[in-house]
A and B are shown apart, each in its own frame.
Chain A
């Protein structure tokens, strides 16, 4: 059933791309359509609250890029000022308004031309800035792009969930699972009586867990931890896509996790050992992720008491538990 759901999502996503491409081509080939669209959109924008103009689904770099392009398109179409104010349909009023419009047109046209020229250059500047940012991001995201050529990190299985839950079972406070996937670890924690919630970047991945009533949310670990007040969590679990973070991001994540946990709170790291990577994975993910030993080193350096425990899993073989002092 999950495969059917994924296939349906991918199908709609493909159709939407085709629609956007066709819409783009139609605008390019028919300038009259652009004018008509602008008139209709302006009428529409008047009744749409500004706050509704939020793109909710920017959960991947591709989405972010598409969103930026879409917003630039909106800026472009809305930046053109038109001096032909509507005059309405009531006869007497229309005539008066028509006269006022004729009288003021020469002056408004003069102003509008200057503002339109300014807007035109401003939009071009935004586009060129967007392209420069895209180039910079391309460089900064090299690891992420290369990571796209290897399989995604698999879901935690039930035994791993149980093992993590055992380590945090005595937590008397909320526990956040960063990069929770479908929620196996959250589910095990909840069964153990822990108030656990999870976050993951992918809306699709958490769907099944959400359907089962787990508290799983769409967010990056950074976004989520950033919202949590100092010392508010009893524990943090770092797992799954944490394996695919570079050193700077990992260091930031550790600091954020330590900030969020209470003085005696715990951080559990459940990731595969980078030293066991082989084949294309080893080459493409070079410099990404840490071995359990290095996790332990970094956490101990930040003043935690660290324990390594063996785990008999197919990928994850060592769990790192750090207790803040």
Chain B
């Protein structure tokens, strides 16, 4: 019987996604400390289709017992169209429509839900809030539950189907204070639910960071550059970053933006913009260390690992000021700047690129913040403190 059973729509070393990475970071570290940790998840690797890809059954992965279940049906190709209609005005959606949406959103797996109902000891930890296993699973739970919601200010959060989930969990583990505030505003009755702003463990890699090797590999020479790291996705602000950077570059008369990560929405070719695609962890940290600035233009983040990893690599950050969690990281750490419009972006970028002392001071403050607040012992203490209130 497990001490903690995580329930996630997808799980695995090669599964990309913030909440999924968060669940794995917690599960593996807790397991390494001797706790009995299990994961109940689907066989899917892609959240676009939920097609079964991993083998069915239970395996041991990095010390964690991972049980994968087939989905009842893959996601309908028409899902995006039905989303558009419903999410234009989510607060007005009927409960029936919202339930239908969560079923279509998936991954719907009767076997997975049966396994949730069979958990008789420990704690069930659901993540993230937006998928079928959390919404339905929490209604079947027989043990205390904690929700790692990973909530953003996004349209689905307004659907009435999530009231039951947030109001019935035993505890809430937030990634950031803005997320806590968002949840508290949207679901006022969670005000008395035990909760903690836990974040995620972020630690320096166990290999030596080699910026020169990364520069050589991607042909970046000795030129200074700005880096973006993450999925290249319109909703993550990547295209706006390209527009902002191109306009800034035209006025500065030079500069380079290196875009690192899988390309979902194509970016048009521009001078000074280099797309290198997905890279290894070694090159990721190498590029972070070699860059003058990391920019995270996303307006929708619940934590943003990459901002904290940039600080560990000794690089300051510039973030989208409309994004509460990344802005909060910068304001609380003193490790980065934020912009709310193009002119602020340009002024901030120019200051960062032209002032080595500013960059160094911000990076030092950021690193100190990560080490102080997001080391594994610090995060574990917060999680234990929360779990002790419900178990």
A residues in contact (CB < 8 Å) with B: 1, 4-5, 7-13, 15-16, 19-20, 22-23, 26-27, 33, 36-37, 40-41, 43-44, 47-49, 51-54, 56-57, 70, 174, 190, 195, 197, 203-204, 207, 210-215, 217-219, 224, 227-229, 232-233
Question: In the complex, which residues of chain A have a beta carbon less than 8 angstroms from the beta carbon of B369?
Answer: 5, 8
Question: In the complex, which residues of chain A have a beta carbon less than 8 angstroms from the beta carbon of B335?
Answer: 8, 12
Which residue of A is nearest B153, CB measured? A51
The reply to whether B330 and A12 form a contact with Cβ atoms under 8 Å apart is yes
Question: In the complex, which residues of chain B have a beta carbon less than 8 angstroms from the beta carbon of A33?
Answer: 343
Query: With A and B bound together, what is the CA distance between A70 and B239 in angstroms?
Result: 24
The reply to whether B334 and A12 form a contact with Cβ atoms under 8 Å apart is yes
Query: With A and B bound together, what is the CA distance between A1 and B237 in angstroms?
Result: 35
The reply to whether B331 and A12 form a contact with Cβ atoms under 8 Å apart is yes
The reply to whether A203 and B177 form a contact with Cβ atoms under 8 Å apart is yes
The reply to whether B195 and A215 form a contact with Cβ atoms under 8 Å apart is yes
**A36: contacting residue among B181, B196, B247, B368, CB under 8 A:** B247
The reply to whether A12 and B155 form a contact with Cβ atoms under 8 Å apart is no
- Given A11-B365, A12-B331, A49-B154, answer yes or no on A213-B337 (Cβ-Cβ < 8 Å): no
- Given A8-B334, A204-B332, answer yes or no on A51-B154 (Cβ-Cβ < 8 Å): yes
By CB atoms of chain B within 10 A, which of A7, A12, A219 has the most? A12
> Can you spell out 17 A-B residue pairs with CB atoms less than 8 angstroms apart?
A5-B372, A12-B337, A23-B341, A26-B347, A49-B153, A52-B300, A54-B153, A56-B181, A70-B340, A197-B194, A203-B331, A204-B332, A210-B197, A212-B385, A213-B386, A215-B194, A228-B191
Does B43 make an interface contact (CB < 8 A)?
no
**A218: contacting residue among B181, B195, B333, B338, CB under 8 A:** B181
The reply to whether A227 and B188 form a contact with Cβ atoms under 8 Å apart is yes
Question: In the complex, which residues of chain B have a beta carbon less than 8 angstroms from the beta carbon of A40?
Answer: 240, 243-244, 247, 342
**A4: contacting residue among B177, B358, B368, CB under 8 A:** B368
Which residue of B is nearest A173, CB measured? B192
Question: In the complex, which residues of chain A have a beta carbon less than 8 angstroms from the beta carbon of B117?
Answer: none
**A12: contacting residue among B157, B243, B362, CB under 8 A:** B362
Query: With A and B bound together, what is the CA distance between A13 and B327 in angstroms?
Result: 12
Number of interface residues of B (CB under 8 A): 70
Does B201 make an interface contact (CB < 8 A)?
no
Question: In the complex, which residues of chain B have a beta carbon less than 8 angstroms from the beta carbon of A203?
Answer: 177, 328, 331-332
- With A44-B342, A56-B177 already in contact, 18 other A-B pairs whose C-beta atoms are closer than 8 Å: A13-B331, A19-B344, A19-B351, A47-B234, A49-B154, A49-B155, A51-B155, A51-B158, A52-B152, A52-B154, A195-B194, A197-B194, A211-B378, A213-B382, A215-B194, A217-B181, A218-B181, A227-B184
Which residue of A is nearest B191, CB measured? A227
Chain B interface main SS type: helix
**A56: contacting residue among B178, B192, B197, B378, CB under 8 A:** B178
The reply to whether A52 and B343 form a contact with Cβ atoms under 8 Å apart is no
Task: Give the top 5 A-B pairs by smallest Cβ distance, nearest first.
Answer: A8-B334, A213-B385, A8-B365, A56-B324, A213-B382
Question: In the complex, which residues of chain A have a beta carbon less than 8 angstroms from the beta carbon of B322?
Answer: 48, 52-54
Which residue of B is nearest A45, CB measured? B240
B residues in contact (CB < 8 Å) with A: 152-155, 157-158, 177-178, 180-182, 184, 188-189, 191-192, 194-197, 234-235, 237, 239-240, 243-244, 247, 299-300, 322-324, 327-328, 330-344, 346-348, 351, 358, 361-362, 365, 368-369, 372-373, 378, 381-386, 389
Query: With A and B bound together, what is the CA distance between A233 and B311 in angstroms?
Result: 41
Question: In the complex, which residues of chain A have a beta carbon less than 8 angstroms from the beta carbon of B342?
Answer: 36-37, 40-41, 44
The reply to whether A22 and B191 form a contact with Cβ atoms under 8 Å apart is no
CB A199 to nearest CB in B, in angstroms, measures: 10
Question: In the complex, which residues of chain B have a beta carbon less than 8 angstroms from the beta carbon of A16?
Answer: 337-338
Query: With A and B bound together, what is the CA distance between A77 and B191 in angstroms?
Result: 37
Query: With A and B bound together, what is the CA distance between A11 and B257 in angstroms?
Result: 27
Query: With A and B bound together, what is the CA distance between A16 and B191 in angstroms?
Result: 33
- Given A203-B177, A210-B197, answer yes or no on A57-B331 (Cβ-Cβ < 8 Å): yes
Query: With A and B bound together, what is the CA distance between A7 and B299 in angstroms?
Result: 27
Question: In the complex, which residues of chain A have a beta carbon less than 8 angstroms from the beta carbon of B240?
Answer: 40, 43-44, 47
Question: In the complex, which residues of chain A have a beta carbon less than 8 angstroms from the beta carbon of B327?
Answer: 56-57
Question: In the complex, which residues of chain B have a beta carbon less than 8 angstroms from the beta carbon of A56?
Answer: 177-178, 181, 324, 327-328
CB A76 to nearest CB in B, in angstroms, measures: 12
Question: In the complex, which residues of chain A have a beta carbon less than 8 angstroms from the beta carbon of B381?
Answer: 212-213
By CB atoms of chain B within 10 A, which of A40, A218, A233 has the most? A40
By CB atoms of chain A within 10 A, which of B197, B244, B369 has the most? B197
The reply to whether A37 and B184 form a contact with Cβ atoms under 8 Å apart is no
The reply to whether B235 and A23 form a contact with Cβ atoms under 8 Å apart is no
